[in-house]
Amino acid sequence: MSEVKIRLGHLFPELLNLYADQGNIAVLKRRAALRNILLEVTPIKLGNELKVEDFDLLLLGGGSDREQAIVGKELAPYREDLQAAIEANMPILAICGGYQLLGKFYELANGERIPGLRLVDMETKPGHGRLIGNIAIEWMAQNESSKELTIVGFENHGGRTYHDYPALGKVLKGHGNNGRDHLEGLQYKSLIGTYIHGPLLPKNPHLADAILRYALNYRGHFSLLEALDDQLEWDAHHAVLQELLGNKKYARVRQRLC
Amino acid sequence: MSMAEWASTDFEAMRVIKKWKSRLALWVGQITLYVLRLIGRRGTSLPGFLAYRLSPDLLFNLLTQLDTCVFVTGTNGKTTTSALLYSILSDEKNLWLTNKDGANLMQGLLAAFLPHVTATGRLGLRKAILEVDEATLPRITERFHPTMVVVTNVVRDQLDRYGEVDQALAMLRQGISYPGIQLITNADDPLAASLGIERELTSFYGMDEVLQDTQTRNEVRDGAFCLMCGQEIEYSHTIYGQFGHYHCPNGDFTRPTPDYGGILRANDASLIVRWRKRNTEVEQFAVPSPVIGLYNYYNLLAAVATACTLGISTRKIVEAVTVYEAPLGRMQVYAGTPERILALIKNPAGANSVLRTIETDSRAKAVCFAINDADADGRDVSWLWDIDLESFLATAVCDRYFCAGHRALDMALRLLYAGVQRKQIEILDALSDVVKATESLDVPVYVLSTYTALYPLGTYLREASR
Ligand SMILES: [Zn+2]
């Protein structure tokens, strides 16, 4: 049997590694391998040329303000390529600082604006204090077969993000994009931006599978991913969810979304 | 009454009010402390909390009464370094003040002073060695300048508290920016060392030679970038985490030559200290290590460097370290069947160095992780995924894993994705189950615990060891 391959480009792992993004990669890799799919990871470091057409999936993690500014500059020449790939349904997973970088700018508390990649019409502004804590959202997944529709994780961001795209989900508990509109993250085609780390994917195997499927589809494979034994993953997911929502709300959410 | 007179009485009145407020704060703190002691409760934060709430000035009144004051700050190793230093510096004839319990915020520092102050506000001791939180340091030094500040290292830690590494570095830089403060810092950590570059009154310590292991490691290296030009720093020699011998390829930032160079030839050997004095004379001496683990050798070296800078004789240093007893979580061995060893882990760099120490034990073993996510542990458990478990799995002989604590399931997932089989992982409902779950094992059990699980575990393991 010829092995199916997914080529993952990990953008600037040496800079954007603040929230354990290798955890996300470990999850994608293992879940792919269990389906006989090879996930090939290429770190793209500062100064390396980025050939967007060489990849089926890109990962952009979180870093400090200083590191984000460096990455913004480094990626600017590839803006057009990235935009075209997104329109063609290339999956990109952008987390925390990486998420902020997708938009027009990220404004710091001192008023300075770090220019973004302008891949989506989105702005991030400073606010009072950081938004920190465990978070649970209701996944507004389009065309998902998963019967579990909650996502859990941790958020920690100073910036407040505003956009008019569909959100990744509705906040059940936590702050989300800006602490105001009860929405978290963004999904445009196969581009996913989110503040949720923890890391994001280990406790959210349904989301990990969705991303793998986007990548396979983008590459022209439309077969289904076989189900895995995710008992431990869901145990960990529900332990956080239950504690976060409290027993009553958890019971209601569980009935509706799980 | 003229305007000037008005203003001066006003000022005088303010001064008197402040003085009495500060006196009141002292009494409230001391009475609370006394009452708590009477009812047998020690080590609570209440006295310091109340006193600080009533008068933040009180802490500064007391600090200014000191002749010598050393602050120990940095991400990791503050408590061990301070404890080692305290044992070197303090004896019956020459007592130093310290915050032994590691309460290192404003109110914790104040609490450490309370038992040593007279009712009229006079401090009985003249010297202090205090562990100070990185964010608290600049808030103190803007009003009080200590004799010395020791910065152990600057690594990623409890990000949900401070935001980011850059911010921690900025706070430290601000904290030591006043003239007259002697800085002692780690030459092998590019971030900590950057604080001392071109700074007067700065001494560096660092490992000149460490036994090399050949395994390449996949650790996150914080500050792997030159702070001058942004270029990735190159290492000619890595020691652990971000520590090593490094330089910027553009030549604008290089590891400073340490004034106190350490040589470590085996993992449980004495630390040889090479003291390069200003007059180019070199004094070399060996210090026995009361603590195991490479990171603890750094703490030991930091303490020795500080003591030497304070003028303590090398003979006295060696004597004190020989009889030193380590605080909980520094690889205490609880004898018994099985033998259990307790270690504190609180961030990836610390956890990696604990794992590396365990790897040097060639026996087959079991490992138990106790992971909580209370404020003191760090609420964000992302850091578990930055631990380099993969190279531990490749090196160590270990096929039994136990996960306990509030985030046991997160840890179990981490192990699963590192390549441990599900059937090798046992999830425990309570910390108290650790003893029972491991009692039939015939291999040593390493128990790695976050802060809030450490003390309960210490008690269980001690009882089981009797
Ligand atoms: Zn440089």
As for the ipTM of the complex, it is 0.95
Of the residues A157, A163, A175, A197, only one is catalytic, namely A197
Q: What six digits make up the tokens of A250? A: 């958890």
Phi and psi at residue B16, to the nearest 5°:
-65, -45
- Of residues B93 and A200, the one with the higher pLDDT is A200
CB pairs under 8 A between A and B: 78
pLDDT band at A13; cut points 50, 70, 90: confident
Query: Could you tell me where in chain B the CATH 3.90.190.20 domains are found?
Result: 330-465
Taking the C-alpha atoms of residue B466 and residue B463, their distance in angstroms, rounded to an integer, is: 6
Flag whether pLDDT at A102 surpasses 70: yes
With CB atoms and an 8 Å threshold, state whether B385 touches A70.
no
Query: CB-based contact (8 Å) between B223 and chain A?
Result: no
Nearest CA-CA distance, residue A98 and chain B, Å: 15
- pLDDT over 70 for what percent of chain A? 97
Flag whether pLDDT at B34 surpasses 80: yes
Per-position DSSP letters for B393-441, written without gaps between them: HHHS-EEEEEEESTTHHHHHHHHHHHT--GGGEEE-SSTTHHHHHHTT-
Nearest CA-CA distance, residue B106 and chain A, Å: 21
* Least trusted range by pLDDT, from A116-125, A183-192, B111-120: B111-120
User: Which range of residues forms the domain containing residue A43?
Assistant: 4-257
| Cβ atoms of residues A86 and A92 within 8 Å | yes
Pairing of strands A186-188, A183-184: unpaired
Question: Chain A residues with CB inside 8 Å of B384's CB?
Answer: 20
Task: Name which of A158, A197, A239 is nearest B382 (Cβ-Cβ).
Answer: A197
> Which residues lie below 8 Å from residue B415, measured CB to CB, with a gap of 6+?
B369, B389, B401, B403, B425
Task: Name which of B232, B381, B422 is nearest A46 (Cβ-Cβ).
Answer: B232
Residue A96 a catalytic site member: yes
* Least trusted range by pLDDT, from A68-82, A135-149, B259-273, B354-368: A135-149
Taking the C-alpha atoms of residue B457 and residue B437, their distance in angstroms, rounded to an integer, is: 13
Query: CB-based contact (8 Å) between A17 and chain B?
Result: yes
Taking the C-alpha atoms of residue B88 and residue B80, their distance in angstroms, rounded to an integer, is: 12
pLDDT band at B4; cut points 50, 70, 90: low
Task: Name which of B220, B232, B414 is nearest A17 (Cβ-Cβ).
Answer: B220
Taking the C-alpha atoms of residue B406 and residue A198, their distance in angstroms, rounded to an integer, is: 15
Closest CA to B293 of B272, B269, B274, B275: B269
Task: Name which of A30, A134, A198 is nearest B417 (Cβ-Cβ).
Answer: A30
CATH of domain B46-322: 3.40.1190.10
B330-465 placed in CATH 3.90.190.20: yes
Question: Chain B residues with CB inside 8 Å of A65's CB?
Answer: 164, 166
Nearest residue of chain B to residue A154 (CA atoms): B380
With CB atoms and an 8 Å threshold, state whether A156 touches B165.
no
| Cβ atoms of residues B138 and B132 within 8 Å | no
Q: What six digits make up the tokens of B444? A: 């040593």
Pairing of strands A113-115, A105-107: antiparallel
Query: CB-based contact (8 Å) between A27 and chain B?
Result: yes
Residue B227 CA to ligand 1 center (angstroms) comes to 7
Of the residues A96, A157, A175, A206, only one is catalytic, namely A96
Q: Alpha helices, DSSP H only, in chain A?
A: 21-33, 65-75, 79-87, 97-101, 205-219, 231-257
Phi and psi at residue B68, to the nearest 5°:
-130, 130
Query: CB-based contact (8 Å) between A197 and chain B?
Result: yes
Residues 396-455 of B with CB under 8 A from A: 409-410, 412-414, 416-418, 422
Residue A197 a catalytic site member: yes
Pairing of strands B445-449, B340-344: parallel
Tell me the pLDDT tens digit for each residue of A202-243: 999 999 999 999 999 999 998 889 999 999 999 999 999 999
Q: 3-state secondary structure string, A215-247?
A: HHHHHCCCCCCCCCCCHHHHHHHHHHHHHHHHH
Q: What six digits make up the tokens of B111? A: 């609490």
CB atoms within 10 A of CB B392: 20
For residue A60, give the 3-state DSSP assignment: strand
Taking the C-alpha atoms of residue A29 and residue A37, their distance in angstroms, rounded to an integer, is: 9
Residues 126-155 of A with CB under 8 A from B: 130, 132-134, 154
Q: How many residues does chain B have?
A: 466
Taking the C-alpha atoms of residue A108 and residue A76, their distance in angstroms, rounded to an integer, is: 19
Q: How many residues does chain A have?
A: 258
B307-316 average pLDDT score: 96
Tally of domains within chain A: 1
With CB atoms and an 8 Å threshold, state whether A198 touches B380.
yes
Q: Residue A41's domain is classified under what CATH number? A: 3.40.50.880
Per-position DSSP letters for B43-110, written without gaps between them: S-SHHHHHHHHH-THHHHHHHTT-SEEEEEESSSSHHHHHHHHHHHH-BTTB--EE-TT---SHHHHH
Flag whether pLDDT at B216 surpasses 60: no
Residues 188-207 of B with CB under 8 A from A: none
Question: Chain B residues with CB inside 8 Å of A15's CB?
Answer: 225
Query: CB-based contact (8 Å) between B220 and chain A?
Result: yes
pLDDT in the model for residue B267: 61
With CB atoms and an 8 Å threshold, state whether A158 touches B412.
no
The angle formed by the CA atoms of residues A198, A121 and A170, to the nearest 5 degrees, is 45
Flag whether pLDDT at B378 surpasses 80: yes
pLDDT in the model for residue A173: 97
